[in-house]
Structure 1
Amino acid sequence: MKQFPKNFLWGAATSAPQSEGAALIDGKSATTWDKWFEMEPERFNSNQGPQVTSDVYHQYKDEVKRMKAINMNSYRTSISWARLLPDGKNLNEKAVKFYRDYFTELKENGVEPIINLFHFDMPWWLMERGGWEVREAVEAFAFYAKTAFEQFGDIVKKWSTFNEPMVHIECGYLGDAHYPRKNDFKLAVQVGYHTLMAHTRAVEEFRKLAIKNGEIGIILNVSPAYARSESKEDVEAKECADSLYIFSFLDPVALGKFPEKLVSLLKENNLLPQMEERDKQLIAENTVDFLGMNYYQPFRVKAPVQTHTPAIRPNDFFSGYDMPGKRMNEYRGWEIYPEALYDVAMMMKNKYHNIPWYVSENGMGVAEEERFADENGEIQDDYRIDFMKEHLEQLHKGIQDGSNCFGYHTWTFADCWSWLNGYRNRYGFYRVDIENDCKRTIKKSGHWYKKLIEKNGF
């Protein structure tokens, strides 16, 4: 029996844009996703846009009952900035009522809400002004964060500022999976810097309000880099990858300073962002109380194949390595490597002063799950159960070795809409029938998770 610590948080995670639906009703204004779908619906899987998603806006009370039914004691979702402050200034009272009711329902059913402020859903009014490319976004976000803390801080005690900030940077400014589909390394660095400063200012506003028993953190995606070999060139590639993709946010938010390796890389390649005089002091003074770590896959790297001087893309510092014999989730194209979760646990302990942290996302997306339905229509997702077991074994090992982990959240509770991929891959404990009023049906993994939580281990 692998037993987890007392009061361990067992739950799941989603976001407002991926689950709420009600995209443009009750005062909510458009986000980049709403407008992008309006402009180019053909880019979205099966023309599945953000209008309805999983309809939690209308079904949240039943959704919370289902959480209680499988013993979940915590849940992370986000607030829609465009719903709470449709124009960035004026409060939407219908949004306040919805979120207060939703969060209260969670609390009354023994499910602690962990509420995130930004999950890739930039309000369109701010995107038109440049979004994270402009410094204006930093103060706009700080005002939004302060408003959310004031409106819901009596209910919500655990807050996070951003989910996976590296994703909207990489996918929107080094690729085309997020709007605005630009490919500009220097601009990506500036976007990342403004995102970090928005986080920092939100933490500062949180500290000023001194919410009783309140804690604030950030949710980061970690794909630890593993070098192809012990050669100097491959090890250098690993160090560059970790500096860019992990330590770039982890060090400032947890340690209050930038990693020296990152600063050197950016300076040598004329990629340093524009900064303001007080920024370093603000970062040093506003570190987080806890961290959420989203882990799905490792990052295999080797020395770069081709380089430019100065660098014009991250691949000038490292190349991906296709390791022979690796296990894969073919639906996502992601390697399955649970051992990295132990390495993350040890990194938290040894590099980040054993800061409190939790696994804020871990899960397995699979397409066409109806193939695995039994005679009663229940999805027999043993592959998901096995995936969780293997990762929980590594997490348990990390906790036994002293890492200060306080919870484990899967992605996700009920199947949700996933950006350009729509409903192609399913992740939930509950299947969502998008053709039938988003009706929920529990999967085998939901029954397994219930027993796991009952025993606080497996």
Structure 2
Amino acid sequence: MQKYVFPEGFLWGAAASATQTEGAANEGGKGKNIWDHWYEIEPDRFYQDVGPSETSDFYHHYKEDIKRMKDINMNSFRTSISWSRLLPDGVNINQEAVDFYNQVIDELLKNDVTPIINLYHFDMPFHLQEIEGWENREVVESFAYYAKTAFHLFGDRVKRWTTFNEPIVPVEMGYLNDFHYPCVVDMKRAVTVAYHTMLASAMAIGEYRNMNQDGEIGIILNLTPSYPRSQDEADLKAAEIADLFFNRSFLDPSVLGEYPVELIQLLKEHDLLPQTFDGDHALIKENIVDFLGVNYYQPRRVKKKETPVDDSHGILPTHFFDSYIWPERRMNPHRGWEIYEKGVYDIAINIRDNYNNIPWYVAENGMGVSDEERFMDDSNMIQDDYRIEFYQEHLKWLHKGIEEGSNCFGYHVWTFMDNWSWLNAYKNRYGFYRVDINNQKRYLKKSGYWFKEVVERNGL
């Protein structure tokens, strides 16, 4: 007997990105992006020296892969367009890219898989990074041109678009930590990058609306609930600041059309405000999203600042709070992340109560595991019961949020097949299908069979 039935028309699927799946980094007229460049100059930074040219080769295998999506009853799929493939020089359209993306979109539709197309997933074209990337306001205009081009080329069939996936990640990893290119640690520059990204999102939304296309446009944010150690005033303040920096800095302007007053005051107090121009406020106010995608993996647990402050890189978000280890936490030992299924419910209720109950969907949720071959049976199937349990528990909490009125219309996992994951390459696997990167063969995991049944029943 089914206990958790989801709304009619619920989207069941998976998420991916161009750079992490396409491969063919030097084929089809594609221009270089920051990942191609970084791998060229520092290949040792990448796990087992596996770079972006050696991904899961969706570029050549998309037809079979989309058939595999249909085989497990996926009714939707979110991926991204590679900016540097579509516009290698930023201006001229690459017809080979147009042909590829047209074929992918048409193949998805032919297999009754609804495409959700994202415009930017961490993959700045290198020629734009050479002029300082998102630090340079000119790149905002370049992105708007790219977005308009994509809408014009593919908007007749793509009816759900998103501007950015996890825009806080390039900020946090590339400008607050030495984990993504350009490996800058400078909060003033990080704030500028975040602000220009938000302007770019709003400008792209404006372009979409001006074209009067009959679809919807949103943004995908990784919302990580910030839980305080206690109800002590200092712990609560620490959690509030973490939430301002890592959640509300994009959530509020995207959905409500304005930045939190508390965030502006905090940045002003520490001389971190970005340069603004007349019209910026109206641009953001007038171009809020139609829907929201939410990526959820783990919570953030914080407490008041108790450790010594490191001033070697100036002020950083970690000057305002410390991480806190919850004594009751359960861990994914492979990835080093806490598993806290209730977080997706808390997100659902927050959106319902504080963000106009905007339509939203879970755009990513997944469990990365290393050395999964340990769990392979004699038939070459990975018995990933741990992943099935992870999804089941999150879906139960999501269902509770929907039952209580949160306007959620779908659930996408990360990811359809094992893919390349930035510096970690193929260290942690997430897919329904195992990918052997030596021969590009795909093998369905136990979780794929489970998911097929869930979609067929529209519930658990």
Once the two structures are TM-superposed, the CA of residue 311 in structure 1 deviates from its matched residue by: 6.8
Structure 1 equivalent of residue 422 of structure 2: 419
1:455 matched to 2:453? The reply is no
Q: Deviations over 1:17-57 (max 9, x none)?
A: 00000001111010000010000101100010000300000
Structure 2 equivalent of residue 125 of structure 1: 127
What is the letter of the counterpart of residue 65 of structure 1? K
Q: Deviations over 1:258-287 (max 9, x none)?
A: 101111110111110111110000000000
Taking the aligned partners of 1:195 and 1:36, their CA distance within structure 2 comes to: 21
Equivalent residue in structure 1 for 2:346, among 343, 351, 359: 343
Equivalent residue in structure 2 for 1:398, among 397, 401, 417: 401
Taking the aligned partners of 1:248 and 1:325, their CA distance within structure 2 comes to: 29
| Helix, strand or coil at the partner of 2:230 | coil
Structure 2 equivalent of residue 260 of structure 1: 261
What is the letter of the counterpart of residue 43 of structure 1? R
Q: 2:186·2:314 contact (CA, 8 Å) conserved in 1?
A: no
What is the letter of the counterpart of residue 335 of structure 1? E
What is the letter of the counterpart of residue 181 of structure 2? Y
Taking the aligned partners of 1:199 and 1:28, their CA distance within structure 2 comes to: 23
Once the two structures are TM-superposed, the CA of residue 307 in structure 1 deviates from its matched residue by: 4.8
Taking the aligned partners of 1:331 and 1:38, their CA distance within structure 2 comes to: 28
Taking the aligned partners of 1:307 and 1:417, their CA distance within structure 2 comes to: 35
Show structure 1 runs of 5+ residues with no match. none
Q: How does 1:307-326 map to 2 (within 5 A)?
A: 307=309, 312-326=315-329
What is the letter of the counterpart of residue 140 of structure 2? V
Taking the aligned partners of 1:339 and 1:363, their CA distance within structure 2 comes to: 14
Structure 1 equivalent of residue 101 of structure 2: 99
Q: 1:174·1:182 contact (CA, 8 Å) conserved in 2?
A: yes
Taking the aligned partners of 1:30 and 1:326, their CA distance within structure 2 comes to: 42
Equivalent residue in structure 1 for 2:365, among 353, 362, 365: 362
Identify which range, 329-338 or 142-151, moves more after superposition.
329-338
Show structure 2 runs of 5+ residues with no match. none
1:16 matched to 2:18? The reply is yes
Taking the aligned partners of 1:83 and 1:340, their CA distance within structure 2 comes to: 36
Q: 1:13·1:75 contact (CA, 8 Å) conserved in 2?
A: yes
Structure 1 equivalent of residue 159 of structure 2: 157
Taking the aligned partners of 2:244 and 2:171, their CA distance within structure 1 comes to: 15
Structure 1 equivalent of residue 281 of structure 2: 280
Q: 1:269·1:311 contact (CA, 8 Å) conserved in 2?
A: no
Equivalent residue in structure 1 for 2:170, among 168, 171, 187: 168
1:332 matched to 2:335? The reply is yes
**Could you state the TM-score of these two structures normalised by the residue count of structure 1?**
0.98
What is the letter of the counterpart of residue 47 of structure 2? N
What is the letter of the counterpart of residue 30 of structure 2? K
What is the letter of the counterpart of residue 88 of structure 1? G
Taking the aligned partners of 1:274 and 1:89, their CA distance within structure 2 comes to: 27
Once the two structures are TM-superposed, the CA of residue 325 in structure 1 deviates from its matched residue by: 3.0
What is the letter of the counterpart of residue 243 of structure 2? D
Q: Deviations over 1:223-267 (max 9, x none)?
A: 100000110100000110111110110100100011011111101
Q: Deviations over 1:395-425 (max 9, x none)?
A: 0000000000000000000000000000000
Taking the aligned partners of 1:286 and 1:323, their CA distance within structure 2 comes to: 39
Identify which range, 260-269 or 73-82, moves more after superposition.
260-269
| Helix, strand or coil at the partner of 1:113 | strand
Taking the aligned partners of 2:174 and 2:334, their CA distance within structure 1 comes to: 22
Once the two structures are TM-superposed, the CA of residue 317 in structure 1 deviates from its matched residue by: 1.3
| Helix, strand or coil at the partner of 1:454 | helix
What is the letter of the counterpart of residue 168 of structure 1? P
Taking the aligned partners of 1:206 and 1:267, their CA distance within structure 2 comes to: 33
Taking the aligned partners of 1:448 and 1:439, their CA distance within structure 2 comes to: 21
Structure 1 equivalent of residue 240 of structure 2: 239
Taking the aligned partners of 1:222 and 1:318, their CA distance within structure 2 comes to: 18
| Helix, strand or coil at the partner of 1:51 | helix
**Could you state the TM-score of these two structures normalised by the residue count of structure 2?**
0.98
Distance 1:311 1:403, change over 3 A: farther
Q: 1:72·1:453 contact (CA, 8 Å) conserved in 2?
A: yes
Equivalent residue in structure 2 for 1:108, among 107, 110, 116: 110
What is the letter of the counterpart of residue 357 of structure 1? W
Taking the aligned partners of 1:278 and 1:317, their CA distance within structure 2 comes to: 32
Equivalent residue in structure 1 for 2:381, among 378, 383, 405: 378
Once the two structures are TM-superposed, the CA of residue 293 in structure 1 deviates from its matched residue by: 0.3
Structure 2 equivalent of residue 147 of structure 1: 149
Q: 2:15·2:363 contact (CA, 8 Å) conserved in 1?
A: yes
What is the letter of the counterpart of residue 175 of structure 2? Y
What is the letter of the counterpart of residue 395 of structure 1? L
Identify which range, 298-307 or 183-192, moves more after superposition.
298-307
Return structure 1 stretches of 4+ with deviation > 6 angstroms: 308-311
Equivalent residue in structure 1 for 2:392, among 386, 389, 393: 389
Identify which range, 200-209 or 315-324, moves more after superposition.
315-324
* Aligned residue pair count: 456
Structure 2 equivalent of residue 201 of structure 1: 203
What is the letter of the counterpart of residue 291 of structure 1? L
What is the letter of the counterpart of residue 413 of structure 1? F
| Helix, strand or coil at the partner of 2:53 | coil
Q: Deviations over 1:321-365 (max 9, x none)?
A: 122231011121110000111000001100001000000000000
| Helix, strand or coil at the partner of 1:36 | helix
1:428 matched to 2:441? The reply is no
Once the two structures are TM-superposed, the CA of residue 114 in structure 1 deviates from its matched residue by: 0.2
Taking the aligned partners of 1:147 and 1:331, their CA distance within structure 2 comes to: 41
Taking the aligned partners of 1:234 and 1:411, their CA distance within structure 2 comes to: 32
1:45 matched to 2:47? The reply is yes
Taking the aligned partners of 1:315 and 1:365, their CA distance within structure 2 comes to: 26
